[in-house]
Amino acid sequence: MNFGNFEGAEDIAVAWARGLAPDPAQTVAEWADRHRILSSRAASEAGPYRTSRTPYLKAIMEALSPNNPAQRVVFMKSAQVGATEAGNNWIGFCIHRAPGPILAVQPTTDLAKRLSQQRIEPLIE
């Protein structure tokens, strides 16, 4: 593509071509290990997210990944096993890779506000 002969034209062409390249194939778990930082506000152990700390969540996060053929993911679990963080990893992946509206439903307005303030906001910050 010819952008003309002006200063910065080559940089524009390179950036434009890079923008056309598809996103790399990546699972939600891989994305979380590379990009997710847990804040002290949202987690008892702040710092980089590590799937190795909760290996039982890896298959679930992979099932939530775009290249996985699953159309429905069901997670039967006990309390406090990291499911919310796995869901937040999926939300972060979607925000990063395919921005658009996301609806996270909670049983009450108070719980929805708490989830938003304590979990989603730190994810985005």
* Inside any domain, residue 6: no
Q: Is residue 2 part of a domain?
A: no
90 occurs within a structural domain = yes
The answer to the question of residue 101 being in a domain is yes
d(CA 79, CA 124): 24
**Number of domains the chain is built from:** 1
Residue 72 DSSP class: -
| 11 within domain boundaries | no
- CA 31 to each of CA 5, 94, 104, 105: distance values in angstroms, whole numbers, following the listed order: 39, 10, 20, 23
State the average pLDDT over residues 32-47: 86
Higher pLDDT, 30 or 7: 30
What gap in Å lies between CA 93 and CA 8, rounded to an integer?
32
Band (118; pLDDT cuts 50, 70, 90): confident
pLDDT digits (tens, 9 = 90+) for 63-91: 999 999 999 999 999 998 889 899 999 99
Place of tokens 């775009």: 66
Give yes or no for residue 6 having a pLDDT over 80. Answer: no
Q: What pLDDT does residue 72 have?
A: 95
Q: What type of residue sits at position 65?
A: S
Per the domain annotation, does 14 fall within a domain? no
Domain, as residue range, for 49: 25-124
pLDDT score for 45: 83
Q: Are 91 and 123 in contact (CB under 8 A)?
A: yes
Q: Which residues pair with 47 in a beta bridge?
A: 38
The band of 8, judged by pLDDT with boundaries at 50, 70 and 90, is: confident
In a domain? residue 1: no
pLDDT band at 96 (very low <50, low <70, confident <90, very high): very high
- Cβ neighbours around 38 below 10 Å, total: 19
Tell me if 31 is assigned to some domain.
yes
d(CA 124, CA 36): 10
